[in-house]
Amino acid sequence: MVRYAEPGAVEWVESGGGPLIAVPETVLPFWAGADGEETASDYDRACEVDGHVGLLPVGDCTALVLGDEPASTAYLPDHGMFVRWRAGDSEDELLASVPPAVDAAEWEPEVHWEVPGTVHLFDAAWPGSHLSGAEHVRVALEPGRYAVRAASAQPGPETWLGLIQLRLLARR
pLDDT digits (tens, 9 = 90+) for 12-58: 888 888 899 999 999 999 998 887 666 678 989 999 998 899 999 99
| Domain annotation covers residue 162 | yes
Share of the chain above pLDDT 90, in %: 49
**pLDDT recorded at residue 110:** 94
| Domain annotation covers residue 137 | yes
Instruction: State the Cα angle at 65 between 146 and 50, rounded to 5°.
Output: 110
**pLDDT recorded at residue 89:** 79
| Domain annotation covers residue 14 | no
Cα–Cα distance, 101 to 50 (Å, whole number): 23
Average pLDDT, integer, range 79-100: 87
| Domain annotation covers residue 3 | no
| Strand order across the 81-87 sheet | 72-76, 81-87, 159-171, 144-156, 111-115
| Domain annotation covers residue 1 | no
- H-assigned helices in 5-150: 42-47, 91-96, 98-104
Cα–Cα distance, 121 to 12 (Å, whole number): 10
Average pLDDT, integer, range 3-20: 72
Query: Could you list the residue range(s) of the whole structural domain that residue 30 is in?
Result: 20-171
Cα–Cα distance, 38 to 35 (Å, whole number): 9
Domain count, the chain: 1
Quote the pTM value: 0.89
- For the chain, how many residues are written? 172
pLDDT digits (tens, 9 = 90+) for 45-89: 999 998 899 999 999 999 999 987 778 899 999 999 999 888 887
| Domain annotation covers residue 158 | yes
| Domain annotation covers residue 102 | yes
| Domain annotation covers residue 10 | no
**pLDDT recorded at residue 134:** 63
pLDDT digits (tens, 9 = 90+) for 115-134: 999 999 999 999 888 787 66
Residue type, 21: I
In DSSP terms, which residues pair with 12 in a beta bridge? 2
